[in-house]
Amino acid sequence: MYSAQTLPLILDFVNITNKLNNNFKDTLSDDQDGNSTIEILHITRKVARRINSIHTSSLGLHPIVYFYSQKGRHKIASFYATVIFLMELEERKKLNEFIKVRAAFESILHDFDFLVQQIQRHYRSSIGSYPYIKDYFFKIIDLLNNGVLKDEVINELRNDANFHYLTIHTDDIVVTSKDFTRERKSAVYIRDAIKSALKCHICNGYIHKNSITIDHIDRKEDGGVGSIDNGKIAHPYCNSTIKN
């Protein structure tokens, strides 16, 4: 069964993917035959496939990088922002620009994951902050594609008037308890899991186990065979689109 927190998340996901606001009851007419509902769910499924699946459009986003903090907290605002980020990447025809710098982008997201939390606190809610987190993602992508080195991106970004409030200073909590809390157990798992996470051989971005495809190093069209030595793991999108 779904928890009390899960159902609102699903509803928000459907609303965001279909560009509906929270007052959708006032903007949608009654669906007499169910066709409108099916269309809405098809659009939502398309985005879900893009996030993490074995569909050829899938970017195979790793949840640890995009949806969890290093301390083990689920970042709802980051999930919402990632959804609209992917939608706009496609609308603005920037998917390949994302792939080009994906490895560096994901490294920044993980190493400075607390900055997303700062944006959320600045705008006071997950729903209120996710458009600005999405802009933060695009700003990083643009800086990387314009030749800014990964280690300099955050300093450049903090010079932007829209993100002047961000700070790289964090307060570490002193632990005195001898027992692991549930959150700290998650943090240990996340720390170790990301160290051993697999990466796509095409874009070098993190790859989740639910989105793995096996790519021919030498393409079948060029005479490549299905031998072990000719196979490497890759994201579905990288395998089906980028390489071809």
Task: State pLDDT tens for residues 114-134.
Answer: 999 999 999 999 999 999 999
- Model confidence band, residue 155 (pLDDT cutoffs 50, 70, 90): very high
**Residue 60 exposure: Cα atoms within 13 Å on the Cβ side:** 30
For the cut 90, the answer to whether the pLDDT of residue 171 exceeds it is no
Token pair for 97: 């620009």
Amino acid letter, residue 150: K
Task: Flag whether 3 is in a domain.
Answer: no
**High-pLDDT (> 90) share of the chain, %:** 66
List, in sequence order, the alpha helices (H) in the chain: 6-17, 24-27, 35-51, 63-66, 76-91, 95-100, 102-111, 114-123, 126-145, 150-158, 182-195, 236-237
As for how many domains the chain has, the answer is 1
- Sign of torsion, CA 47 88 77 115? positive
Task: Flag whether 125 is in a domain.
Answer: yes
- Model confidence band, residue 27 (pLDDT cutoffs 50, 70, 90): low
What average pLDDT does the segment 65-86 reach? Answer: 93
Task: Flag whether 4 is in a domain.
Answer: no
Task: Flag whether 218 is in a domain.
Answer: no
> Among 151-155, 220-224, 234-238, whose mean pLDDT is lowest?
220-224
User: What string of DSSP letters covers 115-181?
Assistant: HHHHHHHHHTSHHHHHHHHHHHHHHHHHHHHTT--HHHHHHHHHTSGGGTT-----PPPPP--SSPP
For the cut 80, the answer to whether the pLDDT of residue 185 exceeds it is yes
CB 204, CB 234: distance < 8 Å: no
Task: Flag whether 238 is in a domain.
Answer: no
For the cut 80, the answer to whether the pLDDT of residue 231 exceeds it is yes
Instruction: Kindly report the number of other CB atoms within 10 A of residue 63's CB atom.
Output: 16
For the cut 90, the answer to whether the pLDDT of residue 36 exceeds it is no
Task: Flag whether 186 is in a domain.
Answer: yes
Q: Which domain holds residue 75?
A: 56-196
For residue 150, count CB atoms less than 10 angstroms from its CB and return exposed for 0-12, middle for 13-18, buried for 19 or more. Answer: middle
Task: Flag whether 143 is in a domain.
Answer: yes
> What is the per-residue pLDDT for 28?
63
- Report how far residue 59's alpha carbon sits from residue 212's, in angstroms, rounded to the nearest whole number: 10
> What is the per-residue pLDDT for 1?
42
Average pLDDT, the chain: 89
For the cut 70, the answer to whether the pLDDT of residue 72 exceeds it is yes
> What is the per-residue pLDDT for 26?
53
Task: Flag whether 116 is in a domain.
Answer: yes
> Whole-model pTM?
0.88
> What is the per-residue pLDDT for 203?
96
Token pair for 41: 């769910």
> Among 78-82, 219-223, 240-244, whose mean pLDDT is lowest?
240-244
CB 169, CB 126: distance < 8 Å: no
For the cut 70, the answer to whether the pLDDT of residue 172 exceeds it is no
Amino acid letter, residue 107: S
- Report how far residue 58's alpha carbon sits from residue 209's, in angstroms, rounded to the nearest whole number: 12
